[in-house]
């Protein structure tokens, strides 16, 4: 825990604690070939006419499971003003700049705790409740708007994702990635798919997010004032695989600290999620079993360690064989 709480830079701490080291051949570095082939992730200007945004989200969902939502401050009723983003980033920075002893008070291994610091952190400090609360409400609004647009594209009723399926406990992860003395042996976050319905990530200005694509990794170049949006496993299950939840990871770098804020829209534990009948037919049999989200969470591994393009263990429990 000490090494995680420390504010040391690599200059001060030239060696990496063993627990953060991966085997040398374990990290498949991004070659750039995928990015060249895919011209990076699609960037969707959310201020465009709804029909255009809808079509772009569906295309991005089918091809990548990821996109960047830009010009969000222009979206009427669902905008997240730039000030809200900057305030949120400032609160995160303030927290991580606190002395290690103060941060230690938030440290806990107990997953049932509402706010805790672990190998990433979820926190809410009394003084900043307003900033974090305001941010969360606006980002949730954006996520719900994207889901509504998807409904129209998928032939679902507009409020399909309203209710239990999106109203589990909202989870906000604030990820802090200090510079690494050896980025070739460390990852900020190992490859994983998100277990939620949809995730909205404030990626910060420093690159680090990498998205699996055709056996390689696309390194995401953050677009200023934009969010990275990706589809979670629950959306993949509902659409019987039409929309994909795609593996991603956070790489480290040797010079700059990176902070990202992930907002997860999660179904309630008792909500039973399975492929909707509209996505199942003779040609397209159900690929997943229906199961409660609580059971899904209990029986799935969260992440794979190291490099992998086959995180199917995340989905196997629910997959029909």
Positions that interact with ligand AKG (CB under 6 A): 173, 175, 189, 194, 201, 203, 208-209, 248, 250, 260, 262
Closest CB to ligand AKG among residues 128, 194: 194
Q: How far apart are CA 214 and CA 301, in angstroms?
A: 23
The kind and range of the H/E element at 122 are strand 120-122
Least spacing, CB of residue 27 vs ligand AKG, in Å: 16
Q: Least distance from C-beta 152 to ligand AKG, angstroms?
A: 27
Strands (E), 158-202: 171-177, 187-192, 198-202
The CA distances from residue 60 to 134, 153, 158, 167, 216, in Å, are 28, 12, 20, 25, 17
We find the least distance from the C-beta atom of residue 91 to ligand AKG, in angstroms, to be 17
Q: Which is nearer to ligand AKG, 54 or 219 (CB)?
A: 219
* Distance in Å, CB of 204 to ligand AKG, minimum: 8
Q: Do residues 223 and 70 touch, judged by C-beta distance below 8 A?
A: yes
CB of 233 to ligand AKG, least distance (A): 12
C-alpha distances out from residue 310 to 23, 137, 282, Å? 18, 34, 27
- Minimum distance of ligand AKG from residue 248's CB (angstroms): 5
Q: Which is nearer to ligand AKG, 70 or 153 (CB)?
A: 70
Residue 146 or 262: the one with the smaller Cβ distance to ligand AKG is: 262
**How near is the Cβ of 173 to ligand AKG at its closest, in Å?**
5
Strand, coil or helix: 184: coil
Of 248 and 315, which has the nearer Cβ to ligand AKG? 248
Cβ distance to ligand AKG smaller for residue 240 or 263: 263
Provide, rounded to whole angstroms, the least separation between the CB of residue 188 and ligand AKG. 6
Among residues 173, 170, 184, 303, which one has the least CA distance to residue 247?
Answer: 303
Q: Which is nearer to ligand AKG, 262 or 265 (CB)?
A: 262
CA of residue 78 relative to chain centroid, distance: 20
Name the residue nearer to ligand AKG (CB basis): 190 or 275.
190
Rounded distance between C-alpha atoms, residue 76 and residue 33, angstroms: 37
Cβ contact 89:257 at 8 Å? no
Q: ∠ CA 164-169-175 to the nearest 5 degrees?
A: 135
Closest to 198 measured CA to CA, from 170, 164, 231: 231
Token pair in block for residue 160: 């399909």
Q: How far apart are CA 208 and CA 276, in angstroms?
A: 35
Handedness of CA 73, 76, 80, 83 (dihedral sign): positive
Name which of 166 and 175 has its Cβ closer to ligand AKG. 175
How near is the Cβ of 103 to ligand AKG at its closest, in Å? 19
């Amino acid at each position: 825990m000490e090494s995680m709480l420390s504010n040391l830079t690599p200059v001060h701490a030239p060696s990496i604690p063993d627990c953060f080291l991966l085997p040398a051949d374990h990290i498949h570095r991004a070659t750039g070939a995928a990015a060249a082939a895919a011209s990076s992730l699609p960037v969707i200007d959310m201020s465009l006419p709804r029909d255009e945004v809808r079509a772009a989200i569906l295309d991005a969902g089918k091809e990548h499971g990821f996109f960047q939502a830009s010009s969000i401050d222009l979206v009427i009723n669902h905008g997240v003003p730039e000030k809200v983003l900057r305030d949120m980033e400032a609160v995160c920075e303030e927290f991580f700049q606190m002395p290690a002893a103060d941060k230690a008070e938030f440290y806990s291994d107990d997953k049932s705790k509402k706010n805790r610091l672990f190998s990433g952190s979820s926190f809410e400090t009394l003084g900043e409740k307003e900033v974090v609360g305001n941010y969360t409400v606006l980002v949730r609004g954006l996520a719900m708007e994207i889901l509504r647009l998807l409904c129209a594209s998928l032939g679902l009723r507009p409020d399909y994702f309203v209710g239990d399926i999106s109203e589990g406990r909202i989870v906000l992860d604030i990820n802090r990635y200090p510079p690494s003395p050896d980025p070739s042996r460390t990852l900020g976050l190992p490859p994983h798919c998100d277990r939620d319905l949809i995730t909205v990530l404030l990626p910060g200005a420093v690159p680090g997010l990498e998205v699996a694509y055709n056996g390689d990794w696309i390194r995401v170049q953050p677009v200023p004032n934009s969010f990275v949006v990706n589809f979670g496993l629950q959306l993949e299950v509902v659409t019987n695989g039409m929309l994909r939840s795609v593996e991603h990871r956070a790489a480290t770098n040797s010079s700059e600290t990176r902070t990202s804020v992930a907002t997860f829209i999660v179904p309630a534990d008792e909500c039973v999620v399975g492929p909707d009948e509209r996505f199942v037919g003779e040609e397209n049999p159900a690929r997943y079993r229906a199961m409660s989200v609580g059971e899904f969470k209990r029986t799935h591994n969260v992440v794979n360690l190291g490099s992998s393009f086959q995180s199917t263990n995340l989905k196997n429990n629910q997959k029909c064989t």
